[in-house]
Structure 1
């Protein structure tokens, strides 16, 4: 067959979002082509560094957490924000009650290896120059020729060629200019990681990768330079001294870069058969470390829907991608924006009030639950329609099954799992989950798609509409 006949989905961009999406599709039997403008080597430079609990659950449902942990990193059960404000991730209702601090390239490595093993085809050094749609097919134009598929997903970052080619705007604004990133060793590291400091018109964030390297994010209101100006060690040390009173004995960075933090979101994530995910759909400040995580969860939401529709499920299923993920993107922009604006506030009075108020508020369980749920992604839920059970759209917690496996192990391979809580000998192990008279259909992304009293016909109808021919 020709390439046009073979390829069902083209993914543009081989960052974490694109790699997860491509791997999911390939494991579901979909023919996938990934186009990437960079070379084939996985970069040892990393912008993202935090893998939150919900993302670890997503990776667990693909059998990848052990591989990621083996590459190194530090697991933090507490985050310290602005001195006395402590976020206690250790209380999360998850197998992963912490944030894993590890470079983005570690995440990319395990996702690339999985995608390659599943049969994903990669074209590197391949720059997209245009996108055309006609007769239910999408043609992606590149400098090396045309590539056609039924669906295309742009996961090609904030300067997405796919988004621009299909005419989807990307409104928003720059929150902070001239922010600096660097990875370096510290002779006298802070007592807690990550550490956040804000004083003297400077804001800095420091996090331990667990291998002797520390990620430093720094901003100094009094020293704003153009984005193409090289970052100097002196600039970073000055910002650290202003924010913390010390530069922690920072060595010459292994690498550094300058960027501006934007808050932008595409008003729609879809143009006919072309979709956007990850930074191509939304971007925000690095505060909270939610960017890569949000993109990976975009991919987990979209992948099973594309696979199902390609295998005969109702095409209207694809409309739910934007409906479910766009509000999540909005919420992440709000949360990240609040954190960065509070951190960058130069008023000394505001800083004193901030520390006192946040420190007190975080002592209340309800506040802790809300903050940890938002940052970790554990509390994300998708709205349910009129007449649907209240559990519909909520995250399914990992549980032990009657055969000794776990729910998230059963989800591997992009499967739906029906949990029968009506009989002690059903799919749930009575020792770990009390029968409650409810049947739950868990989607491949780990969210409950249908719930209700035992109704085999309703379950079959749901699967016929949502699962396709698996």
Structure 2
């Protein structure tokens, strides 16, 4: 939600769903997260897709529906993508860079010769969108008893998403789903089937835990499920994938504009691969804790979890980890302690918030409100950096990347040293020359 807020999309998405301050899967309280969005937003995925599609098209992106990428080949100057049209006709497209966001069975990843090591975490998960004649009073509703798991999530429009797993009846992904089996599993796991009826969609899938060893090969990159897949436990998939894209996009833009060296693109894998690995471990541990506990011990499991989560620091750590707000990236030796951390959405002296300033898709330099003279001394970076003043008293100057992470910070320096340090930081992160006119790169 914060990444969408930095692009002006979050408020519109909020109107489409239901906010829940508790992550029911683990009963983790999110209401105290240091964010404008201290909750889970439950909304059908097509609402998120619609907003992203609209934004892409507004920035001139061409969407080739029904076309399939069948392979990629690269050389020192670009990448050729083989494409098959809906009528079977084949063509080749050439690009400076290619980003494979083509899911678990990624053609881009296979073309690079990259393995996808891992294992199946759970098989034969059933999904259904249904109506409920007797909906639960406090949705979302989650239950697990060792041989059955079910969760019921409202969409807010009288439709509910049901996910169910039945240890007693494993089936392949292409086996048809019977609503009666989902009802039976819900009764075992939740104590009620809530009178499910009129399904509009039924499906079955399995969940893997896999990660590509590399996210970059030359001019080709992997993001999202093409780079990593994991169980749905904790609901971390969409957050992780969108942050992959946010991390990579500004770096591609900077390199194409000639404002950064190619080595900046290596930091995408260096920063995001450890995050993907952590999410795989966390989601896998959560899933196994729910699905592998013997039925006789489920009560002990639930009691122990509730007891542990009553410890404030444990609850805070889990909320930060599950939400992704505690993600930080390794910074250079000797860097300020804030470098690499998520930037909080601080208020600015002009009445805006930091994430509103980020909507210009540039770096944002936040300076103390008593040092406006700094703006004129670093004016050569005005195309790449917006300079704003923090509201309230602070001695820190903070350079925020377009993906809302802190690139550099300095505090308690003399005015002369602060100016010198700021100029060095801007040269390191934003380049020394103006942006190339007519650059094709655009961070959307």
TM-score relative to the length of structure 2: 0.89
Alpha-carbon displacement from aligned partner over 1:375-397 (angstroms, at most 9, x marks no partner): 11111111122111110001110
Measured in 2, the distance between the counterparts of 1:200 and 1:95 equals 37
Give SS of 2:82's match. Answer: strand
Q: 2:147·2:295 contact (CA, 8 Å) conserved in 1?
A: no
Give SS of 1:252's match. Answer: strand
- Bigger RCO of structures 1 and 2 (CA < 8 A, at least 6 apart): 1
Candidates 63, 66, 70, aligned match of 1:129:
70
Candidates 18, 22, 40, aligned match of 1:78:
22
1:111 aligns with 2:52: yes
Candidates 182, 185, 194, aligned match of 1:239:
185
Q: 2:307 aligns to what? A: 360
Q: 1:444 aligns to what? A: 402
Q: 1:314·1:466 contact (CA, 8 Å) conserved in 2?
A: no
User: How far apart are 1:126 and its partner, in Å?
Assistant: 1.2
Measured in 1, the distance between the counterparts of 2:428 and 2:332 equals 16
- What stretches of structure 1 of length at least 5 have no aligned partner? 1-55
1:156 aligns with 2:102: yes
Candidates 189, 199, 202, aligned match of 2:145:
199
Matches within 5 A, 1:89-100: 89-100=30-41
Q: 1:416·1:442 contact (CA, 8 Å) conserved in 2?
A: yes
Q: 1:422·1:438 contact (CA, 8 Å) conserved in 2?
A: no
User: How far apart are 1:268 and its partner, in Å?
Assistant: 0.7
Matches within 5 A, 1:17-416: 56-70=1-15, 72-81=16-25, 86-143=27-84, 144-199=90-145, 201-312=147-258, 313-416=260-363
Give SS of 1:122's match. Answer: coil
Measured in 1, the distance between the counterparts of 2:317 and 2:127 equals 29
User: How far apart are 1:352 and its partner, in Å?
Assistant: 2.1
Q: 2:146·2:292 contact (CA, 8 Å) conserved in 1?
A: no
Measured in 2, the distance between the counterparts of 1:210 and 1:323 equals 39
Q: 2:129·2:159 contact (CA, 8 Å) conserved in 1?
A: yes
Q: 2:427 aligns to what? A: 464
User: How far apart are 1:346 and its partner, in Å?
Assistant: 4.4
User: How far apart are 1:319 and its partner, in Å?
Assistant: 0.7
User: How far apart are 1:463 and its partner, in Å?
Assistant: 2.8
Alpha-carbon displacement from aligned partner over 1:151-184 (angstroms, at most 9, x marks no partner): 1000000000100011111111001111111111
Give SS of 2:197's match. Answer: coil
Give SS of 1:94's match. Answer: coil
Q: 1:200·1:242 contact (CA, 8 Å) conserved in 2?
A: no
Measured in 1, the distance between the counterparts of 2:149 and 2:138 equals 17
Measured in 1, the distance between the counterparts of 2:344 and 2:293 equals 42
Q: 2:78·2:96 contact (CA, 8 Å) conserved in 1?
A: yes
Q: Which moved more, 1:297-306 or 1:72-81?
A: 72-81
User: How far apart are 1:200 and its partner, in Å?
Assistant: 5.5
Measured in 2, the distance between the counterparts of 1:339 and 1:195 equals 17
Q: Which moved more, 1:334-343 or 1:299-308?
A: 334-343
TM-score relative to the length of structure 1: 0.84
Measured in 2, the distance between the counterparts of 1:294 and 1:282 equals 9
Give SS of 2:170's match. Answer: coil
Q: 1:317·1:466 contact (CA, 8 Å) conserved in 2?
A: no
Go from structure 1 to structure 2 and tell me whether the alpha carbon gap of 1:441 and 1:384 turns closer, same or farther (over 3 Å shift).
same
Measured in 1, the distance between the counterparts of 2:97 and 2:315 equals 41
Give SS of 2:206's match. Answer: strand
User: How far apart are 1:422 and its partner, in Å?
Assistant: 7.1
Measured in 2, the distance between the counterparts of 1:444 and 1:450 equals 13
* Structure of greater Rg: 2
Give SS of 1:251's match. Answer: strand
Measured in 1, the distance between the counterparts of 2:271 and 2:390 equals 31
Give SS of 2:24's match. Answer: strand
Alpha-carbon displacement from aligned partner over 1:214-256 (angstroms, at most 9, x marks no partner): 1111100001111111111112111111111211111132101
Q: 1:152·1:274 contact (CA, 8 Å) conserved in 2?
A: yes
User: How far apart are 1:111 and its partner, in Å?
Assistant: 0.7
Alpha-carbon displacement from aligned partner over 1:267-309 (angstroms, at most 9, x marks no partner): 1101111000000000111111111111001000000000001
Measured in 2, the distance between the counterparts of 1:252 and 1:222 equals 25
Q: Which moved more, 1:410-419 or 1:299-308?
A: 410-419
Over the residues paired in the alignment, what is the CA RMSD in angstroms? 1.6
